[in-house]
A and B are shown apart, each in its own frame.
Chain A
């Protein structure tokens, strides 16, 4: 809500600085988000008093004006029709700068020298109006700088009105809060107008509200013989300052009163109402209707309509129809001031996607008590601006309701807030915002709620008002009195934390990507149609095609991160992300899993003076995964890879027993290309939920051996069809004294040669050579018994 302080002052004189008022409003829950000081884009423009207006001797359309600019009078040539002697006008002096940036120079116009220019509102950047010279208020002093003229100077507050405080969507509503802050009371503006006694509204129009629940109050007023024209500057300026657009002297008044009092109004061109009647009814069939913005709107049963006996003329509270719109030639106005049930307005406005200033207010609920007053205020202003005769009386439908009453216990207020206030203090605070104590009983009181406060419906709402009025800053900060409970620390958190720590120390940076991806990513990764990863959850209203679904795997995100960084010169990357993936299913919410993805590319560092660091390869990534799973005491098996997006020769599936829990390998060139990556990338992804389910973080002490160990090396030719891990397992099985088996060399010539280093250890004794020799012979015997393994001599 934009609030010009100059307007606010009409209701309550402000005896404090805008900054201070902003602070106090903010602490009352009406956050002043911005204080906008008036800014003028013109320079060196002064107030002038037109002394004489003479026709230009050489040009029919031009006039020569003598304008008093304070110290002296200057001749100015002007083409506008509305210049008259005695009017105060803005004069751009020589050297002045206008809103558009134009500089005024001394100019000879057909033989007459002009020492300045009289300006329109548009030329000054005050509005779009360029129909004539901007005529200033009579009290402006010639020679004063235009920006110092009081009616132009203004500060506007931008107030963030909470969605439940519809009562503050008006200047008057804000003034009411300001008055409470300043401990004052304010009143509605008083005015009077003369009606045409002979003919009452009831002679001209009839009113039929079919559903008083949908429309509890509807008032019709009329004015005839008006002349639609342009509103005066002060009104247009206030409308603009509040963020709306001036239209004409009738429509502007409806908007002006809405801004002033919070009551949306609608003016119908009476002549265009076909049956001279207004019906308020809930639609019972589908129909289309053209609103005054020229759009065809589809209406459905349940929409609240204003009809003229022939068909709809407005969607109640949302937008009027083109068929009854005020035009330049409108002479008679039927003015609607009503209270519509917020429920109807909300559902129709949302469905149609219309957020008008009117619907915004009706949705939140307006003040049913000021419906008639606001209508009359508008009629008064219309009469003032557009002339005509006000018709006597009104047509009205009104389902009056009792004011809400709420019972609150004093003690409850203090208990909930943690303060100590006496009943008197509480009563006094509430009275400042028109919540009055109307009865007392049972250590509590009954308060009545004013008709404009739709947000107060139960005792807690009243407690909130007490807190707000007392001031949050006056409520102490205390330590809760509550029982001590053991913390619940989840296995998941410990697993996640261990994993992260391990990966940081292994040189991996953590990335966080959106949970979104695109089906294109599935195609890029050549994920088969029957793969679970195809079951992604589609977003009905995605932001873009790239973010159209929730991700079913994380590796695609890492490809995007790698591409992004490669394009920016970071060539050596080790990245991981641990986060949720989502799999759609027939019933219930989609399944959510935790997944861990890792990717490496490049080398440890670009260069080092002692020798060039080698490029990362498959085994760098595999080692990281092996080490990670060891933390969780998981013994996994790496099998030949089956993922379609990995190089089948350089990839593996990670198995825990028979279950596949992940994959790793070199990403296929075609996949990399889809992401614009031109260097080798090794990537892996683990189903982290499986890791958490089957792993543990148990640690058990093993005594430190007291006897020396023995090391023996073996070399074999091993056929490529035999996985080395199997051979290592076989070696280990030979004797309990074998505590570790490692590979220390591998080369391929005609055959593949693998060299193992085996560590023997006894916890009971120093192993003797003969004992080790015996085991060694057994190892060789068992291995060479297998077809495809030969001892290298």
Chain B
């Protein structure tokens, strides 16, 4: 057979090959051990030396050409196959993903942690005391003797004579000073209890108490530390004011107000139209308290402060009902 027509035939047949498997069949038929070229080479044996060489070279060239063509086509089909597979694995990227289920901390914990972080960065250590407390620590040592009008300020849960659920975290001040010599720099976060249950009161809530006592602590230092705290907690531009107040265990006492975070001071329901919000109570430790814990009030001065965690959390998150903290409604908890 004429080699030229073989070439044409191969070309024709290749053009009708449509996929990998028929290409494979074709390869076996042409290039296989018993294929066309093997047959042609077999035929060479019957030719003389000269002819064999010339013809053999031509066959070889043709075979290389054919191999190349087959290889080309194979790559082409393989690419096509890959593309087809890729298309088959198409997904709609707009289908919902599997969002990992993670929990969250309670907003009170978040607020508490933030308060604690600010004060520890200012050099305060964390102290604690029992929730069920002696009347002595909760009242008497804080300069609130029996029948003192200040006891009316707090409705107390009694457990038995002389034992109460602490109405504030202030007893921790006494316990800490009793067991440590000055300087003392502590904060005491914890639950406190008052016999009160309505739209703006829960029988349990949380406070953070603070105490800084040393040789030369001044009222102006109280202003300094609490100003730093409020600017860290509510933002540097938050206006604040200190105004005279009364607590039996501090003197002078100061209530600290911040500019209303809801109305920016223009007056609203939350700030009762005053533009200010009470945020914490504070003052210089009363000399009587120092005497009770065995410090010399002529030698030692200091300040103390206390704040309600719920109140701060309500302002920070814009929560309008204190009871929400204790319903533990998932629709509430999952917002923080």
Count how many chain B residues have C-beta atoms less than 8 Å from C-beta atoms of the other chain: 83
- Contact call B103/A510, Cβ cutoff below 8 A: yes
- Contact call B334/A509, Cβ cutoff below 8 A: yes
* A220 smallest CB distance to B (angstroms): 28
- Contact call B158/A417, Cβ cutoff below 8 A: no
- Contact call A467/B328, Cβ cutoff below 8 A: no
Q: Mark B286-326, 1 if CB is under 8 A from A, else 0.
A: 11000000000100010000000000000000000000011
Interface presence of A482 (CB below 8 A): yes
A619 partner residues in chain B, CB cutoff 8 A: none
Which of B123, B153, B243, B287 is within 8 Å of A460, CB to CB? B287
A493 partner residues in chain B, CB cutoff 8 A: 126
A541 partner residues in chain B, CB cutoff 8 A: 157-158, 195
A488 partner residues in chain B, CB cutoff 8 A: 125-127
Q: Mark A443-485, 1 if CB is under 8 A from B, else 0.
A: 0000000000000001011011001100011011111111111
Interface presence of A515 (CB below 8 A): yes
CA distance A609 to B203 in the complex (A): 45
A576 partner residues in chain B, CB cutoff 8 A: 103
Query: Assuming A29-B243, A162-B245, is B203 touching A460 (CB within 8 A)?
Result: no
A580 partner residues in chain B, CB cutoff 8 A: 131, 191
- Contact call A509/B103, Cβ cutoff below 8 A: yes
Interface presence of A612 (CB below 8 A): no
* B31 smallest CB distance to A (angstroms): 43
* A325 smallest CB distance to B (angstroms): 28
Q: Mark B268-299, 1 if CB is under 8 A from A, else 0.
A: 00001110000000001011000000000100
Interface presence of B101 (CB below 8 A): yes
CA distance A568 to B329 in the complex (A): 8
Nearest to A33 among chain B residues (CB) is B272
B245 partner residues in chain A, CB cutoff 8 A: 29, 31, 162
Query: Assuming A418-B220, A488-B126, A539-B157, is B227 touching A477 (CB within 8 A)?
Result: yes
B127 partner residues in chain A, CB cutoff 8 A: 488
Q: Mark A534-577, 1 if CB is under 8 A from B, else 0.
A: 00011111111001001000000000010011001010011110
B102 partner residues in chain A, CB cutoff 8 A: 504-507
A592 partner residues in chain B, CB cutoff 8 A: 130-132
Interface presence of A508 (CB below 8 A): yes
A565 partner residues in chain B, CB cutoff 8 A: 328-330
Query: Assuming A512-B325, A513-B328, A608-B98, is B204 touching A31 (CB within 8 A)?
Result: no
- Contact call A416/B284, Cβ cutoff below 8 A: yes
- Contact call B130/A589, Cβ cutoff below 8 A: yes
A35 partner residues in chain B, CB cutoff 8 A: 273
Query: Assuming A537-B132, A537-B159, is B246 touching A165 (CB within 8 A)?
Result: yes
Nearest to B152 among chain A residues (CB) is A163
Q: Mark A597-634, 1 if CB is under 8 A from B, else 0.
A: 00000001100111000000000000000000000000
Interface presence of A415 (CB below 8 A): yes
* B193 smallest CB distance to A (angstroms): 8
- Contact call A475/B223, Cβ cutoff below 8 A: yes
Q: Mark B122-154, 1 if CB is under 8 A from A, else 0.
A: 011111001111100000000000010110110
Interface presence of A511 (CB below 8 A): yes
B191 partner residues in chain A, CB cutoff 8 A: 515, 579-580
Q: Mark B245-268, 1 if CB is under 8 A from A, else 0.
A: 110100111110000000000000
Which of B125, B255, B334 is within 8 Å of A487, CB to CB? B125
Query: Assuming A163-B152, A482-B183, is B286 touching A564 (CB within 8 A)?
Result: no
Interface presence of A225 (CB below 8 A): no
- Contact call B195/A543, Cβ cutoff below 8 A: yes
Interface presence of B106 (CB below 8 A): yes
Nearest to A476 among chain B residues (CB) is B220
Interface stretch of the complex, out of A46-54, A342-350, A741-749: A342-350
Which of B103, B254, B284, B329 is within 8 Å of A508, CB to CB? B103
CA distance A248 to B218 in the complex (A): 54
Interface presence of A363 (CB below 8 A): yes
B251 partner residues in chain A, CB cutoff 8 A: 460-461, 463-464
Nearest to A488 among chain B residues (CB) is B125
Kindly identify, within residues 144 to 173 of chain A, every residue whose CB is under 8 Å from any CB belonging to chain B.
162-165
Interface presence of A490 (CB below 8 A): yes
Query: Assuming A31-B243, A515-B204, is B159 touching A416 (CB within 8 A)?
Result: no
A-B contact count (CB 8 A): 239
* B260 smallest CB distance to A (angstroms): 14
Interface presence of A661 (CB below 8 A): no
Which of A350, A484, A538, A547 is within 8 Å of B159, CB to CB? A538
Interface presence of B211 (CB below 8 A): no
Interface presence of A233 (CB below 8 A): no
Which of A163, A463, A505 is within 8 Å of B153, CB to CB? A163
CA distance A463 to B246 in the complex (A): 14
CA distance A508 to B130 in the complex (A): 27
Interface presence of B163 (CB below 8 A): yes
CA distance A582 to B150 in the complex (A): 28
B287 partner residues in chain A, CB cutoff 8 A: 458, 460
- Contact call B246/A484, Cβ cutoff below 8 A: no
Nearest to A570 among chain B residues (CB) is B330
Interface presence of A288 (CB below 8 A): no
Query: Assuming A516-B204, A605-B101, is B246 touching A481 (CB within 8 A)?
Result: no
* A332 smallest CB distance to B (angstroms): 36
Interface presence of B90 (CB below 8 A): no
Interface presence of A272 (CB below 8 A): no
CA distance A163 to B108 in the complex (A): 31
Query: Assuming A29-B246, A162-B246, is B133 touching A589 (CB within 8 A)?
Result: yes
CA distance A541 to B103 in the complex (A): 37
CA distance A110 to B35 in the complex (A): 135
* B27 smallest CB distance to A (angstroms): 41
- Contact call A550/B132, Cβ cutoff below 8 A: yes
Interface presence of B79 (CB below 8 A): no
Q: Which 5 A-B pairs have the closest CB atoms?
A: A418-B220, A29-B244, A418-B218, A162-B246, A464-B252
Interchain Cβ contacts under 8 Å between A and B, 14 examples: A164-B150, A415-B218, A418-B221, A460-B252, A460-B287, A472-B244, A478-B224, A480-B214, A503-B103, A506-B102, A510-B105, A512-B328, A550-B132, A570-B331
The residues of A with any CB-CB pair to B shorter than 8 Å are 26-29, 31, 33-35, 162-165, 343, 346-347, 350, 363-364, 415-419, 458, 460-461, 463-464, 467-468, 472-473, 475-485, 487-490, 493, 500, 503-516, 537-544, 547, 550, 561, 564-565, 568, 570, 573-576, 579-580, 582, 589-590, 592, 604-605, 608-610
6 more CB-based (< 8 A) A-B contacts, given A468-B252, A504-B104: A33-B272, A418-B218, A505-B103, A510-B109, A575-B328, A589-B134
